[in-house]
Amino acid sequence: MHAADTPLVVAELPTASGCVLGTLTLNVESSLNSLTLEMIRAMTAALGAWRSRDDVAAIVLTGRGSKAFCAGGDIQALYRSCVANQQAGSEVDDYARCFFTEEYQLNLLMHEYPKPITTLGHGVVMGGGFGLLSASAFRVLTERSRLAFPEITIGLFPDAGGSWVLRQLPLAVAAFLGLTGSQLNARDALELGIGSHVIEHETRDQLVPQLAELPWGVGADEANKALLENFLATLHKQPSQLPNEIDAIPDWSVRLEDLAATTSALFALQGQSDWIDRGLQNLRKGCPTTAAIVLEQLRRVPQLTLAESFAMELSIATRCAQLPDFPEGVRALLIDKDGQPDWQYKQLTEVPDAHVRSHFSAP
């Protein structure tokens, strides 16, 4: 349906039973399949077209290349939009606003989609890529998968459904992951329920052809979901060779209303493992406002529905796009690459409550 050189390849694969599989392939290997607004719109259009077709049995989402399913959004495009608007003092470039709005709409569509969606999250799965994976009914990983919400490093926040993912986790784990951007391997993601199945990395290209051989039913969404679940169980490999890194996280004291006390308790974990220490280094160098936003997200999301959690994220993202920290974080990490972001508030103890709350007012 789409040429093989487009950023998103949309195709229909005939199955042995006469149905078709809708396939979506992120196709920007050079940027680790980072999402653009064009790709988001193409995915949304394809899912909309397939939704009411009885002959479309299931959807499969993959990423081109061996390194990554999706490293997140196209941060440099968002940076250019934010900088243009901040320099003009008004919205002269609507890319950032449209990106966040339409990305979250796509995530919500996937969460509520009637047909089973399988996402193969091999390699790097971060930010918006994590969002696509977590919105899928079947979340297949490999032993090389590395998952994270690394937004603390660029002054954003765990978005694209990150609030909903963190809501499902033990609070100490959720706060640690959100505040440090630490990477999870497939074993930990499986244990936390973030992933549903693990297959061998070297066999990943065989998955879609194997799915095409299954006896799919026409207009049988629930039966097709059960068929898919049973089949993936036959491929599943327990990733026991990987370290169980989340076991290093103790049940430390998280005080959602007190950033200073929470981060002090977090820094007290120093020395318990190399993995924890790497995460704490991210927090030390990361954006203080992001840290405060994460705690407020965790405080609010248990009272919200799925749709309300995305609305909350849109409020936060819109505000982040208007303020200096997000573009400054991108500049330091990806544009000038000096590693010296000049955050609006320099210390975790300096972030005013009113500044944090301003991110949660609907635009």
Q: Catalytic residues, which ones?
A: 73, 128, 151, 159
* Token duo for residue 341: 């972001």
CA atoms within a 13 Å half-sphere pointing along the CA-CB vector of 211: 31
The string over 124-155, giving b where at least 16 C-beta atoms fall within 10 Å of a residue's C-beta and e elsewhere, is: bbbbbbbbbbbbbbbbbbbbbbbbbbbbbbbb
Are 130 and 34 a contacting pair, CB within 8 Å?
A: no
Encoded amino acid at 87, one letter: Q
At 190, is the secondary structure helix, strand, or coil?
Answer: helix
Helix (H, G, I), strand (E, B) or coil at 340: coil
Strand-pair category, 124-126 with 197-199:
unpaired
CA 112, CA 289: separation in Å to the nearest integer? 32
CB atoms within 10 A of CB 111: 18
Q: Find the length of the chain.
A: 363
What tokens does 196 get? 């549903």
Taking the C-alpha atoms of residue 50 and residue 30, their distance in angstroms, rounded to an integer, is 29
Q: Are 186 and 145 in contact (CB under 8 A)?
A: yes
Q: Which two tokens stand for residue 234?
A: 């036959």
Nearest by Cα to 136 from 125, 123, 151, 124: 125
Pair type for strands 68-70 and 197-199: unpaired
Question: Using an 8 Å Cβ cutoff, are 343 and 328 in contact?
Answer: yes
Residues 194, 139 contacting (CB under 8 angstroms): yes
